[in-house]
Amino acid sequence: MKNATVIRHVGFEDLGSLIETLQQQGYTVTYVEAGSGSLDKIALLNPELVVVLGGPIGAYEEQDYPFLQDELHFLERRLAADLPTLGICLGAQLMARALGARVYPGSGKEIGWGAIELSDAGKHSPLVHLAAEHTLVLHWHGDTFDIPVGATHLASSSQYKNQAFSWGKCGLALQFHPEVTAQGLEMWFIGHACEIAASPGVSVPQLRQDTARYAKKLEIQARQFWYEWLQSINYKATNKLVAR
């Protein structure tokens, strides 16, 4: 059995549709709750995969949330070793920071369902299953990041240029949320009630209506994306070990 260690920042932002694919691919899943003080117990080289999930704080707010510094140091070491690592939203921003790029408040909130446009590199990656002609994805962020030096830009949206990048052979950072499900988003609507109310043009009824329209298609496409990406990192990680 392979181990996927998942760093979670809020309880309702979980693996969503990814967990089923991980289990089908022979992974056991271990959640580590950010801020619990248990991050230092993760042996860097032990997990075959590390996933860093989203959350409503900034990747640059370590003065208020000191545990972020531990996450950054962990990611710095793991990415330097080119070990399979996935970051979603806040997780992607932390990956960018760990690789020396700037993370900062964007021009406005991007909350709701929308398309991503793939770069040439993105069109030749598993992200092709999430392209605009196949599905919309969920956006839920106000911060953005620069693409780290040496990383490969993969996707953009109409509001934010940098939506995804890859690092080395086994690192992937996604600003958007391909993991969400219709059922899981009901908990988001509760947990992020204050942010929704404070965001002009965003409302729970509209989010729920759009979720009913788009979430099922995303779940179908996301399963294909997750399967292909996991296959690719398994292949690359195996070849890396053989080369050593």
- The number of angstroms, rounded, from the C-alpha of 17 to the middle of its chain's C-alpha atoms is 12
Task: Quick: pLDDT tens for 103-113.
Answer: 999 999 999 99
Main-chain dihedrals φ then ψ at residue 221, nearest 5 degrees: -70, -35
Fold assignment, 2-243: Rossmann fold (3.40.50)
The closest alpha carbon to 72, from 95, 104, 101, 56, belongs to 95
The closest alpha carbon to 14, from 40, 53, 62, 55, belongs to 53
Q: How confident is the model at residue 101 (pLDDT cuts 50, 70, 90)?
A: very high
The model's pTM is 0.94
Task: Quick: pLDDT tens for 119-155.
Answer: 999 999 999 999 999 999 999 999 999 999 999 999 9
| Radius of gyration, CA atoms only, the chain | 17
